[in-house]
Amino acid sequence: MDFLFNYKNSFTNPDPVVIQDVNQYIEWQLGIEEKKFTPDAFDDVVLRRYLLNLQFQGADQETSQRIVSSLENFYT
């Protein structure tokens, strides 16, 4: 989880909720891809699949919007 470690350490006071959102996404992606996670400009399809999966699991709109914001922050 080098990406998460580096991301977390890029902030003076990282928001633990954002870190948790990003961590859960990375763990989910590792679980479906069964390979090393490498963020990529083409992850938009995987991100949409992840958000759809969250909706199927019952995530409400507020939670989904928070996660989108967390992941946008991670990818920028």
**DSSP output for the chain:** -HHHHHHHHTSSS--HHHHHHHHHHHHHHHHHH-S-----TTTHHHHHHHHHHHHHTT--HHHHHHHHHHHHHHH-
CB 33 within 8 A of CB 24: no
Q: pTM higher than 0.85, yes or no?
A: no
pLDDT (tens digit, 9 = 90+) per residue, 53-75? 999 999 999 999 999 999 998 88
Q: Which pLDDT belongs to residue 29? A: 85
